[in-house]
Amino acid sequence: ERRKAKTLSGGEVQRVALARAMVTEPDILLLDEPTANLDPVSLRIIEELVLKFNQEKGVTVIMSTHDMGQGQRLAHRAGVLMQGELIQTGRPLDIFHSPEDIRIAGFVGIKNIMHGTVVSNQSGIAGVDVGGRIISGVSDLAVGTGVDVYIRPDDIVLSIAVMDSSARNSLTGKINGLAFSGSLCTVTLDCVFTLEALVTRKSAEEMGLCVGQSIYVSF
Q: What is the pLDDT of residues 73-93, one digit of tens each?
A: 999 999 999 999 999 999 998
Residue of 218, 170, 212 lying closest to 190 (CA atoms): 212
User: Is 90 exceeded by the pLDDT of residue 214?
Assistant: yes
Residue type, 93: L
114: amino acid identity, one letter: M
Distance (Å, rounded) from C-alpha 91 to C-alpha 78? 6
> Among candidates 138, 158, 162, which has minimal Cα distance to 150?
138
Closest C-alpha to 106, from 139, 84, 80: 80
Per-residue confidence (pLDDT) for residue 10, from 0 to 100:
85
pLDDT band at 101 (very low <50, low <70, confident <90, very high): confident
Q: What is the pLDDT of residue 38?
A: 86
Residue 165 reports pLDDT greater than 80: no
Residue 116: pLDDT over 90: yes
* Proportion of the chain above pLDDT 70, given as a percent: 100
What percentage of the chain exceeds 90 in pLDDT?
Answer: 65
Extended beta strands in 75-145, E state: 78-82, 85-90, 112-122, 125-130, 133-138
Q: Quote the CA–CA distance of 23 and 46 in Å, as a whole number.
A: 16
